[in-house]
Chain A
Amino acid sequence: MTAPTLADKADAPQAELGRARLRKEDARLITGQTNWTDNIRLSGMLHMAFARSPFAHAKISRVDVSAALKMPGVVAAFAGADFAAEQGSLPCAWPVTADIVIPAHPPMAVDEVRYVGEAVAVVVARDRYAAADAVAAIDVDYEPLPPVLDMRTALEPDAPKVHAEGNKSYEWVFAAGDADAAFSGAPVVLERTYRQQRLIPCAMEPRSVVAQWVDDQVTLWSATQIPHVLRFALSAFFAIPEQNVRVIAPDVGGGFGSKLQVTAEEVLAVLVGRRVGKPVKWTESRTEGNMTVHHGRDQWQRIRIAADRDGRIRGLDVDLLADMGAYLMLVTPGVPLLGAFMFPAIYKMDAYSFKCTGIFTTKMPTDAYRGAGRPEATFAIERIMDELAVELGMEPMELRQRNWIKHEEFPFTTIAGLTYDSGNYEAATARAMELFDYAGLRREQAERSARGDSVRLGLGISTFTEMCGLAPSRVLGSLSYGAGGWESASIRMLPTGKVEVVTGSSAHGQGHETAWSQIVADQLGVPFEDVRVLHGDTQVSPKGMDTYGSRSLAVGGLALAGACDKVIAKARVIAAAMLEASADDLEWLPGRFAVRGDPEASKTIQEIALATFAAHDLPEGVEPSLDSDYTYDPDNFSFPHGTHLCAVEVDTETGFTKIRSYVAVDDVGVVVNPLIVEGQVHGGIAQGIAQALYEEGVYDEAGNLVTTTLADYLVPSAADLPSYQTERTATPANNRLGVKGVGEAGTIASTPAVVNAIIDALRPLGVSDVEMPCTPERVWRAVQDAAQSGGAA
């Protein structure tokens, strides 16, 4: 990819799809005019602050807010019991099995707390300083209970119980093919256990919420990815009639899944605002957020692979333990299932079996985090493929090539039952290998090894695919998910020929205002500048399924195209009357209808829009409007893929890993805006590298989160990350735009590429695994342990 330039300075009109348009969003973001939720100031607005549990597990015997009430500026203070009658339980929308245990989850704890940071009381005061002061005056008596911190021992009979129902939430199984036949008698069977550490999403914008009641109607501003789902949830689970709820997601500063949630604080802002009769605001501190924004990953993965001596995979068997944390939140139990279908990845095999046990611990609940299930699956399969290659004495890429689905075999139904519509793993890999200079690096690796260089070179491969674009509603239904997977779009043709596009997707950094303008400009033949995209307010965009799972383009983008079709169909009838021609004789040219054989006789879409405004001469019975709505429900997931290659230099004396080069060739189908796509890939890779090298949410033996700040939880800086070389291949997806999702691909791909590279560097020393994050200390210890056990070559 050449560096993005001012491609949009081109004078000649051209198709918008594929054009590196600079973003419409930027003007406000680079000048400080952004409308973050925490910027909102309403007349009479009060501030909330929460008293939170310092214990991982305890009975609450008494909450006394009386001293807090006497503090200056304090208007009200409440304990959980004060809302017991109305606060209900935070929803879990994904009961993955019929017998799943879904414990009650009151937004504010009443009798018992089950993780450090759980809210127990709330103060409402004139400003945030006064509210924080008053929280310190709240007196809570706790009777500590034993914490449950290790999911591997949580199911033992004498383990303390997180909930009366026990520590097991569910067990979900899947099997296809004959596993016994695949494994028994297989010449090679490998078993490995991998750890997916707990991650903290750390979107740069902390969560923030403002609730304002007027009469019986509430407006909730929230830093959320899901204004529509949130509105539905407030209505369905908290008894506020849906027509009285308006949710606004103003500018939202990143999410990565962490703002795909119905949170305690959102619900409590609504309830507290109603109780005090004034607008209320709450904005979390980073410390509070690290404790109480849902976490990601946290799995133990036992994976077995059976293969023939020539490398052909016979079967795969996966057994997961997944830490749910203390409660099931919106899609907590479903996250591992999104990975369940992806362990077989791009490979053909005869049998696959999968089991996941969801376990309660006294920690913050886990839920969707960039990739949600697929990074975990991709990591495990790509790691064990490298181990299998070593076992077979084969180049790791050759092993992959022997097993992957060939480009001529698409569409291909995998052993997990997914039908991959498109792909070309050969093309992406060939290009990546060329850019990376794989052969040259292998030579250098051998040279350095031969001269006993203490800094070892390692090469890591990740040939990945993923399922995104969530999703066909019927498939979500078959997995017991609580909602559909469609997306909605509306086109409003304004009288002056300008266009308003209303989308149900809810961007929080993805650039929908730009990309959606490009799609609509192409479909309707109108200038890019004439299109304005509206989103993120249920009063403006009443219908939507919001943004997560790399679904916005693959579902919402196609909804736009469908809405444009309806605009054009309506315009055809009116154009025919204006041109005194038969509608059948009209030809749709970009932006106008012309009479076939008489291109001079034409009406532009703008002229037709104006004609509907006057509506003086429309044909009998024709609606005077071009406005159109369309709801698109995809018939399949989206399957982007790619080949990522990473070269690391590992200092065996210090354990320090430096990424020397990183090549990513992604295939995300037809690209709407290469600038935006490249940015998504960069950021995705960075987040995956962060899991491999830096980040881990750590609880101590008492259940305290010790990584509460960005000094302890190591979100990498520019100095910690390499430059990435990115390119693309483009195998069109099987949809009318040919597009696939891209938001999570980089994160899914990069983690195993980095760890495979580290192990490749250290394998001659006898190291075959390092648990993530591969910190200098862990790498150094792995080298020392290998040397002591005589593993060094």
Chain B
Amino acid sequence: MTHITVTVDGVSYADDVEPRLLLVHYLREVLGKTGTPVGCDTSNCGACTVLLDGESVKSCAVLAVQADGADVTTIEGLAASGRGHSAQANGALHPIQRAFHEEHALQCGYCTPGMIMAAADLLRDNPHPTDEEIRDGLEGNLCRCTGYENIVRAVRRAAEAGVTA
């Protein structure tokens, strides 16, 4: 067992974990933060994408011990990130979340947490992407329902609204 300290969505946790424990399983099974789902076992689908110290990572490809000392933001904490916890409690949405809702960029919603987190990272790097840059930037996140058309529209809409989160 290895002792780790991790901040997840603004809350600090200290736990003893098996060295082989994946970050996504730490989030889901140790912390009960099930907002981040698992869609594959080879880091291809991106459903489990979270922000690790602000950079998007596939949390199935990171060991929990590698997150020691890091700040993790999941879909559950995105709306509150940088704006205090009351935002999430009030049901406030991050602009990318709102754009996904307004553009009908999700159907079953399984890929959505990872897609939104990847979009957040994409827009931070490139606040005004072209449609092609959006498509290339989300290449590591698979969706089986939407055909991506409305996901591209949603990210464009969030960009137009000036998201740099």
| Chain B binds chain A | yes
Closest B residue to A679 by beta carbon equals: B104
A204-B45 in contact (CB<8A): yes
A-B residue pair count with CB separations less than 8 angstroms: 192
Check if B3 is an interface residue, CB within 8 A of chain A.
no
A723-B109 in contact (CB<8A): no
A34-B35 in contact (CB<8A): yes
Closest A residue to B135 by beta carbon equals: A718
Total residues of chain B contacting the partner, CB 8 A: 62
A31-B79 in contact (CB<8A): yes
Given contacts A30-B93, A204-B110, A683 and B29 within 8 Å (CB-CB): no
Check if A285 is an interface residue, CB within 8 A of chain B.
yes
A22-B104 in contact (CB<8A): yes
Please indicate the chain A residues that have their CB under 8 angstroms from the CB of B29 in the complex: 127-128
Check if A775 is an interface residue, CB within 8 A of chain B.
no
Counting chain B CB atoms within 10 Å of each CB, the highest count among A23, A254, A285 belongs to A254
Please indicate the chain A residues that have their CB under 8 angstroms from the CB of B151 in the complex: 718
Check if B139 is an interface residue, CB within 8 A of chain A.
yes
Check if B138 is an interface residue, CB within 8 A of chain A.
yes
Check if B56 is an interface residue, CB within 8 A of chain A.
no
Which of A5, A38, A127 has a CB less than 8 Å from the CB of B37?
A38
State A127–B152 Cα separation when bound (angstroms): 38
Please indicate the chain B residues that have their CB under 8 angstroms from the CB of A286 in the complex: 39-42, 44-45
> When each residue 589-601 of chain A gets 1 if its CB lies under 8 Å from chain B and 0 otherwise, what string results?
0000000000000
Check if B140 is an interface residue, CB within 8 A of chain A.
yes
Please indicate the chain B residues that have their CB under 8 angstroms from the CB of A253 in the complex: 37, 108-110
Please indicate the chain B residues that have their CB under 8 angstroms from the CB of A22 in the complex: 101-102, 104
Please indicate the chain A residues that have their CB under 8 angstroms from the CB of B135 in the complex: 717-719, 721
State A717–B145 Cα separation when bound (angstroms): 11
Total residues of chain A contacting the partner, CB 8 A: 63
Check if A298 is an interface residue, CB within 8 A of chain B.
no
B37-A205 in contact (CB<8A): yes
A683-B144 in contact (CB<8A): yes
Given contacts A39-B34, A204-B39, A509-B109, A32 and B138 within 8 Å (CB-CB): no
A204-B144 in contact (CB<8A): yes
Interface residues of A in 122-151 (CB under 8 A from B): 127-129
State A71–B108 Cα separation when bound (angstroms): 38
State A25–B150 Cα separation when bound (angstroms): 16
State A675–B102 Cα separation when bound (angstroms): 10
Please indicate the chain A residues that have their CB under 8 angstroms from the CB of B41 in the complex: 285-287, 709
Closest B residue to A35 by beta carbon equals: B34
B109-A251 in contact (CB<8A): yes
Interface residues of A in 30-64 (CB under 8 A from B): 30-34, 36, 38-39, 41
State A202–B45 Cα separation when bound (angstroms): 11
A254-B149 in contact (CB<8A): no
Check if A256 is an interface residue, CB within 8 A of chain B.
yes
A715-B144 in contact (CB<8A): yes
Closest A residue to B116 by beta carbon equals: A30
Check if A439 is an interface residue, CB within 8 A of chain B.
no
CB of A621 to closest CB in B, whole Å: 47
Which of B79, B103, B147 has a CB less than 8 Å from the CB of A4?
B103
State A31–B82 Cα separation when bound (angstroms): 16
Given contacts A202-B144, A254-B145, A717-B141, A710 and B40 within 8 Å (CB-CB): yes
B37-A709 in contact (CB<8A): no
State A785–B100 Cα separation when bound (angstroms): 47
Which of B25, B34, B38, B144 has a CB less than 8 Å from the CB of A203?
B144
Please indicate the chain A residues that have their CB under 8 angstroms from the CB of B108 in the complex: 203-205, 252-254, 508-509
CB of B33 to closest CB in A, whole Å: 8
CB of A286 to closest CB in B, whole Å: 4
Check if A474 is an interface residue, CB within 8 A of chain B.
no
Counting chain B CB atoms within 10 Å of each CB, the highest count among A31, A38, A687, A711 belongs to A31
B112-A29 in contact (CB<8A): yes
> When each residue 664-682 of chain A gets 1 if its CB lies under 8 Å from chain B and 0 otherwise, what string results?
0000000000011011101
B138-A31 in contact (CB<8A): no
Given contacts A30-B97, A510-B107, A682 and B146 within 8 Å (CB-CB): yes
Check if B131 is an interface residue, CB within 8 A of chain A.
yes
State A723–B148 Cα separation when bound (angstroms): 8
Check if A6 is an interface residue, CB within 8 A of chain B.
yes
State A283–B25 Cα separation when bound (angstroms): 13
Given contacts A205-B37, A286-B42, A256 and B144 within 8 Å (CB-CB): yes
Check if B57 is an interface residue, CB within 8 A of chain A.
no
Please indicate the chain A residues that have their CB under 8 angstroms from the CB of B100 in the complex: 26, 30
Check if A511 is an interface residue, CB within 8 A of chain B.
yes
State A508–B143 Cα separation when bound (angstroms): 14
Check if B142 is an interface residue, CB within 8 A of chain A.
yes
A36-B112 in contact (CB<8A): no
Check if A686 is an interface residue, CB within 8 A of chain B.
yes
CB of B66 to closest CB in A, whole Å: 17
B35-A31 in contact (CB<8A): yes
Interface residues of B in 20-77 (CB under 8 A from A): 20-21, 25, 28-29, 32-42, 44-45, 47, 74-76
State A487–B66 Cα separation when bound (angstroms): 51
CB of A650 to closest CB in B, whole Å: 20
Interface residues of B in 72-112 (CB under 8 A from A): 74-76, 79, 88, 91, 93, 97, 100-104, 106-112
A711-B37 in contact (CB<8A): no
Counting chain B CB atoms within 10 Å of each CB, the highest count among A27, A32, A285, A684 belongs to A32
Interface residues of B in 121-137 (CB under 8 A from A): 131, 134-136
B47-A718 in contact (CB<8A): no
Please indicate the chain A residues that have their CB under 8 angstroms from the CB of B146 in the complex: 679, 682-683, 686
B149-A723 in contact (CB<8A): yes
Closest B residue to A202 by beta carbon equals: B144
Check if A724 is an interface residue, CB within 8 A of chain B.
yes
Q: List 16 A-B contacts (CB under 8 A).
A: A4-B102, A23-B101, A26-B101, A30-B106, A30-B112, A30-B116, A32-B34, A32-B35, A34-B109, A679-B146, A683-B147, A686-B148, A709-B44, A717-B135, A718-B139, A719-B135
A-B interface, 6 closest residue pairs, ranked by CB to CB distance from nearest = A32-B35, A509-B108, A29-B109, A253-B110, A686-B147, A710-B44
> Assuming A31-B79, A286-B44, A683-B144, what are 15 further A-B pairs, CB within 8 angstroms?
A4-B150, A22-B104, A26-B106, A31-B93, A34-B109, A39-B28, A203-B108, A204-B39, A206-B40, A254-B107, A254-B145, A680-B107, A686-B148, A710-B44, A719-B135
